[in-house]
């Protein structure tokens, strides 16, 4: 991890690959959070059924 | 017992004389225990977007705990010892997690317009937490005592000086930056986060955006 | 603000409540974050490149070191002509009448020539008569004479050679400068200047203002920083050494340094490359305030209503009500 990072250069945008991975990962994580089904307690044998 | 009820009527109880009782009653009204630790939520709290806030808190816990260990053994330890370096790494990665999930939480709250229905102050405190966290991280990077810390100091001083703050906030002064980073700023972040959480629990989660325009702030 | 008077009971009237375990959620989050951080720490470690010392600088690039030291005496280095808060030799940054750099005066006094060259040499001349004589000769000479020596020496340094770590220049009239500089270089290469500049006559010290300003005046550390993409013109604020992620949350702050008017000499409305630091701090303060005040800003506070992301988050709420609950 101590070797220099590679950089993505497009116009005035110059971003390191590790940073790009973090930002890209965040966008992916947000998108997944939007669509992934969320477990509901009412589906479990919680006893209470409202 | 004070007898100042102006309107006789549906049991308007006279205000108690005891300040302690009045404070307690105000707290009971605004944040009773079952609002502080509810075991139920509205059914529409059903998206993974809702967990970003609590994950940010969890990351903060790891940041503070690893930070406490680092500060206990002193600045040379995280360079010279393998265990010290490990805790330095733990602190580094939990800080990354903290900012990643804080920003995801911000995106979520923005697109949910979480400030509606009297929650504007909660949003504002959140932005203040963001700014103070950045300041805390900044003093942390300046406390590293390595090449990165040197260069950040030399470069950042120009920004600080241009705004006049550099006269009081000397990024080249390790003692000042380290003291702010391990003591003053973590206390600030913690107080703000507690305030933020209490505000969320007092009001409960905001309702969905109603297309009929029923949920303006 | 009338909604603030509502109790939760009133706010949630008619809303179906379901079991939700907040404490378990926090516990799982703690475990999850812990596992990820522990694994990352164990397998990826963290960035920790050793700091630059004045000794390393003086050994690797003696000519740059001596040129910088001469520059301190001549008042031509960044720190020498900086202005507030170090001295009054420069105006600092300003945007029209907005000049906060000067508002608080010289609160961190640094006299570059004395602090970085003369005082360390005075300490070193304790048992070194040649150096002592050179120093007296320097301090006895008038400013004009000092200026002549410095001009000639600085010109000669441009084609200096290095042998065994020592700097040699073509013969010329440089007064006591060659003796002073070779002594300073020797102290620096042995590590003495790192100590002298930090300690500054005291014993305990945690303030690295002097050695950092001196190192920053030279070309050695900035060149290394450039290689590591840490400098401002390379989006440096968000970068880290090695292949580690940096401070991605500073992307907007560092971005302004790459765009007009902060890259231009003429700029726009008085904002340009020479007052970029001040201009960008003002800009970012305004933007941060705007972020905090989003609930009060029309259009910004309405975008969430127009963008259908909330319809994904609350799809159960927006789904058409069916007679039987779906699984």
Instruction: Return the DSSP state at C231.
Output: S
Question: Taking 80 as the threshold, does the pLDDT of residue C163 lie above it?
Answer: yes
Mean pLDDT lowest among B25-34, B152-161, C74-83:
B25-34
Mean pLDDT, rounded, for C76-104? 96
User: Are A33 and B96 in contact (CB < 8 Å)?
Assistant: no
This complex has an ipTM of: 0.93
B77 in C contact zone (CB under 8 Å): no
Crossing angle of the two packed helices B82-111 and A17-35, in degrees rounded to 10 = 50
Q: Say which of C45, C227, C313 has its CB closest to residue A1.
A: C45
Sign of CA dihedral B175, B177, B180, B182: negative
User: What 3-state DSSP class applies to C70?
Assistant: helix
* Neighbors of chain A by Cβ distance (3+ pairs < 8 Å): B, C
Two structure tokens written together for A45: 């044998």
Q: How far apart are CA C4 and CA B29, in angstroms?
A: 13
Res C201: pLDDT: 83
User: What 3-state DSSP class applies to C271?
Assistant: strand
Q: Are A26 and C263 spatial neighbours (Cβ–Cβ below 8 Å)?
A: no
Q: Which residues pair with B40 in a beta bridge?
A: C19
Split at pLDDT 50, 70, 90, the class of C53 is very high
Query: How far is CA B71 from its chain centroid?
Result: 21
Q: Shortest Cα distance from B45 to chain A (angstroms)?
A: 9
Question: Taking 80 as the threshold, does the pLDDT of residue C26 lie above it?
Answer: yes
C324 in A contact zone (CB under 8 Å): no
User: Are C51 and B149 in contact (CB < 8 Å)?
Assistant: yes
Q: Are C64 and C220 spatial neighbours (Cβ–Cβ below 8 Å)?
A: yes
Q: How far apart are CA B23 and CA C280, in angstroms?
A: 46
Res C252: pLDDT: 96
Residues of B in contact with C282 (CB under 8 A): 163
Question: pTM here?
Answer: 0.92
Mean pLDDT lowest among B117-121, C101-105, C135-139, C316-320:
C316-320
Mean pLDDT, rounded, for B185-195? 98
Instruction: Return the DSSP state at A7.
Output: E
Nearest CA in chain B to A18: B96
Question: Taking 70 as the threshold, does the pLDDT of residue B188 lie above it?
Answer: yes
C299 in B contact zone (CB under 8 Å): no
Res C319: pLDDT: 86
Res B11: pLDDT: 54
Res C152: pLDDT: 97
Mean pLDDT, rounded, for C83-99? 95
Cα angle C197, C202, C207; round to 5:
55
Mean pLDDT, rounded, for B128-139? 98
Mean pLDDT lowest among B77-81, C13-17, C199-203, C254-258:
C199-203
Split at pLDDT 50, 70, 90, the class of B2 is very low
Q: How far apart are CA C239 and CA A45, in angstroms?
A: 49
Res C321: pLDDT: 55
Q: How far apart are CA B42 and CA B99, in angstroms?
A: 28
Res A48: pLDDT: 44
Res A41: pLDDT: 66
Q: Shortest Cα distance from C14 to chain A (angstroms)?
A: 12
C314 in B contact zone (CB under 8 Å): yes
Mean pLDDT, rounded, for B75-94? 97
Instruction: Kindly report the backbone phi and psi dihedral angles of residue C82, in degrees, each rounded to the nearest multiple of 5, phi listed first.
Output: -70, -45
User: Are A30 and B104 in contact (CB < 8 Å)?
Assistant: yes
Split at pLDDT 50, 70, 90, the class of B212 is low
Question: Taking 80 as the threshold, does the pLDDT of residue A46 lie above it?
Answer: no
A19 in C contact zone (CB under 8 Å): yes
Q: Shortest Cα distance from C90 to chain B (angstroms)?
A: 12
For C135, C152, C176, C311, the CA distances from C172, given in Å and listed in that order, are: 19, 7, 11, 80
Residues of A in contact with C16 (CB under 8 A): 50
Split at pLDDT 50, 70, 90, the class of A40 is confident
Q: Are A50 and C17 spatial neighbours (Cβ–Cβ below 8 Å)?
A: yes
Q: Shortest Cα distance from C24 to chain A (angstroms)?
A: 13
Share of chain A above pLDDT 90, in %: 64
Split at pLDDT 50, 70, 90, the class of C200 is confident
Mutate to test the interface with B, among C42, C45, C249, C256 (most CBs of B within 10 A): C249
B37 in C contact zone (CB under 8 Å): yes
Question: Taking 80 as the threshold, does the pLDDT of residue C147 lie above it?
Answer: yes
Which residues are CB-contacts of B135 (< 8 A; sequence separation ≥ 6)?
Answer: B185
Split at pLDDT 50, 70, 90, the class of C192 is very high
Split at pLDDT 50, 70, 90, the class of C13 is very high
* Neighbors of chain C by Cβ distance (3+ pairs < 8 Å): A, B
Question: Taking 90 as the threshold, does the pLDDT of residue B6 lie above it?
Answer: no
Query: How far is CA C126 from its chain centroid?
Result: 36
Q: Which helix (H) or strand (E) holds C74?
A: helix C62-74
Q: Which residues pair with C234 in a beta bridge?
A: none
Top pLDDT among C321 and C208 is at: C208
Question: Taking 90 as the threshold, does the pLDDT of residue A45 lie above it?
Answer: no
Split at pLDDT 50, 70, 90, the class of C7 is confident
Mean pLDDT of chain C: 93
Give the number of C-alpha atoms closer than 13 A to the C-alpha of residue C178, restricted to the C-beta side. Answer: 15
């Amino acid at each position: 991890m101590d070797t220099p990072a590679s950089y993505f250069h497009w116009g005035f945008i110059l971003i390191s690959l590790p940073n790009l991975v973090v930002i890209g990962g965040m966008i992916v994580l947000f998108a997944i959070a939007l669509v992934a089904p969320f477990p509901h307690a009412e589906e479990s044998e919680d006893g209470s059924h409202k | 017992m004070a007898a100042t009820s102006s309107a006789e009527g549906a049991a308007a109880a006279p205000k108690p004389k005891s300040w302690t009782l009045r404070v307690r009653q105000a707290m009971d009204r605004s944040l009773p225990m079952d609002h502080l630790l509810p075991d139920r939520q509205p059914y529409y709290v059903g998206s993974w977007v809702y967990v970003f806030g609590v994950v940010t808190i969890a990351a903060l816990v790891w940041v503070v705990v690893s930070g406490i260990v680092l500060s206990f053994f002193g600045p040379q330890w995280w360079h010279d010892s393998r265990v010290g370096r490990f805790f330095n790494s733990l602190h580094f990665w939990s800080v990354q997690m903290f900012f990643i999930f804080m920003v995801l939480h911000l995106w979520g709250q923005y697109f949910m317009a979480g400030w509606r229905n009297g929650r504007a102050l909660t949003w504002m405190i959140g932005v203040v937490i963001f700014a103070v966290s950045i300041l805390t991280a900044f003093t942390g990077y300046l406390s590293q005592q390595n090449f990165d810390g040197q260069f950040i100091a030399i470069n950042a001083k120009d920004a600080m000086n241009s705004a006049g703050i550099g006269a009081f906030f000397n990024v080249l002064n390790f003692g000042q930056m380290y003291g702010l980073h391990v003591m003053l700023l973590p206390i600030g972040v913690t107080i703000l986060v507690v305030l933020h959480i209490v505000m969320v629990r007092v009001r409960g989660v905001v309702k969905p955006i109603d297309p009929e325009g029923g949920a303006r702030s | 603000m009338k909604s603030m008077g509502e109790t939760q009971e009133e706010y949630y009237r008619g809303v179906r409540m379901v079991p939700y375990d907040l404490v378990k959620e926090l516990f799982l989050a703690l475990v999850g974050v812990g596992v990820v951080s522990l694994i990352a720490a164990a397998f990826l470690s963290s960035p920790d490149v050793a700091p630059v010392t004045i000794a390393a600088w003086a050994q690797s690039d003696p000519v740059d070191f001596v040129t910088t030291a001469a520059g301190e005496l001549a008042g031509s280095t960044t720190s020498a002509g900086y202005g507030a808060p170090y001295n009054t030799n420069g105006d600092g940054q300003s945007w029209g009448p907005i000049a906060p750099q000067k508002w608080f005066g010289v609160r961190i006094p640094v006299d570059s020539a004395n602090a970085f060259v003369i005082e360390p040499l005075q300490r070193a001349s304790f048992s070194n008569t040649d150096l002592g004589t050179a120093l007296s000769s320097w301090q006895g000479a008038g400013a004009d004479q000092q200026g002549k020596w410095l001009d000639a020496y600085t010109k000669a340094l441009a084609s200096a050679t290095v042998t065994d770590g020592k700097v040699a220049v073509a013969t010329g009239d440089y007064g006591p400068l060659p003796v002073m500089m070779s002594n300073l270089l020797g102290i620096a290469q042995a590590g003495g200047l790192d100590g002298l500049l930090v300690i500054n006559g005291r014993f305990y010290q945690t303030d690295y203002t002097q050695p950092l300003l001196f190192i920053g005046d030279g070309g050695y550390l900035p060149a290394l920083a450039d290689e590591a993409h840490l400098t401002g013109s390379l989006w440096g604020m968000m970068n880290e050494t090695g292949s580690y992620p940096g401070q991605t949350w500073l992307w907007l702050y560092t971005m302004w340094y790459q765009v007009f008017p902060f890259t231009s000499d003429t700029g726009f409305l008085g904002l340009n490359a020479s007052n970029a630091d001040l201009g960008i701090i003002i800009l970012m303060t305004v933007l941060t305030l705007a972020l905090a005040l989003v609930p009060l800003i029309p259009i910004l506070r309405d975008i969430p209503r127009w963008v259908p992301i909330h319809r994904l988050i609350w799809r159960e709420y927006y789904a058409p009500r069916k007679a039987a609950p779906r699984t």
